[in-house]
Amino acid sequence: MLEQKEQALLSALASMGRVAVAFSGGVDSSLLLALSVEALGSDRVVALTADSPLLPRHEYATAEQVASRLKARLVVVPFDELIIEGVRANGPMRCYHCKRARFEALQAHAERVLPGAVLIHGENADDINDYRPGSRAARELGVRAPLAEAGLTKAEIRELSRRRGLPTWNHPAASCLATRVPTGTALEPEALGRIERAEAALQTLLGEQHLRVRDHFPLARIELPAERIVAAASEPLRQEVVTALQALGYRYISLDLEGYRMGSMNADV
């Protein structure tokens, strides 16, 4: 079944002739880029990475690493969503406004660097069940989602990535930094930087990549896998976590007993 989906996807990509991959360096877009190069050859593929305040720097570094490994041309597109009021205000349709503007920018850039290319992005079959107003923006602009069209789930994408030796195959699911901020709280560069530094500090201290720091400043709400909560709340880690996050300006440090879960801020929508 998986092999059939894989072949159908490769055929679909080949039929597009030229593609521009909206490339974040995450699990999904990395596989999509790899399959695009397989189907079309590197001369008919370009990876477009929006260099944005919402993209953590470690993900940007991964995007460079994966593109180099695949011998794919990587073009960095400077893009600041925070100048868009519908994004900065962080309302329920933030993702729509963000993706709409981003895809428009990427489409314009794709036409310059690889004329006639179809812009594609890494939405997968599981994403249909999540709150993703950005998907509407993609459909409106004709941005294709080949992974979702082929019916590939996240687990299947990881397996195909593992088979290809992609370093992203077991990376934790990624999301933009805005997902750490409660809906209705304006997005500020200072807060986004604080969140990124806080998560990096915790990943180092705890040796755990699957985590989020939800920013209710001056309170930090830490989400960890449930099995890691006791260790993080015990000495000496407890004090180390408190010290690290207070150094970034947080006054109150909390552990969410429900544990790490994607989209926990969606409850605010």
pTM (global) more than 0.75: yes
CATH number of domain containing 88: 3.40.50.620
* Residue 67 structural domain: 2-163
The residue out of 95, 130, 163 marking a domain boundary is 163
Look at residue 56 in the predicted model and tell me its pLDDT: 85
The residue out of 163, 197, 217 marking a domain boundary is 163
User: Is the domain of 113 the same as that of 186?
Assistant: no
**In-domain check, residue 235:** yes
If one compares 4 and 132, the residue with the highest pLDDT of the two is 4
User: Is the domain of 149 the same as that of 192?
Assistant: no
Number of domains the chain is built from: 2
- In the block, residue with structure tokens 């409850």: 267
Per-residue pLDDT tens digits for 16-73: 999 999 999 999 999 999 999 999 999 999 999 999 999 888 888 899 999 999 999 9
Look at residue 229 in the predicted model and tell me its pLDDT: 96
**In-domain check, residue 169:** no
User: Is the domain of 182 the same as that of 68?
Assistant: no
User: Is the domain of 182 the same as that of 205?
Assistant: yes
Per-residue pLDDT tens digits for 60-110: 889 999 999 999 999 999 999 999 999 999 999 999 999 999 999 999 999
**In-domain check, residue 170:** no
What percent of the chain lies above the pLDDT cut of 70?
A: 96
- In the block, residue with structure tokens 């990124």: 196
User: Is the domain of 20 the same as that of 138?
Assistant: yes
Residue of 31, 13, 25 lying closest to 156 (CA atoms): 31
Per-residue pLDDT tens digits for 246-256: 999 999 999 99
Look at residue 96 in the predicted model and tell me its pLDDT: 94
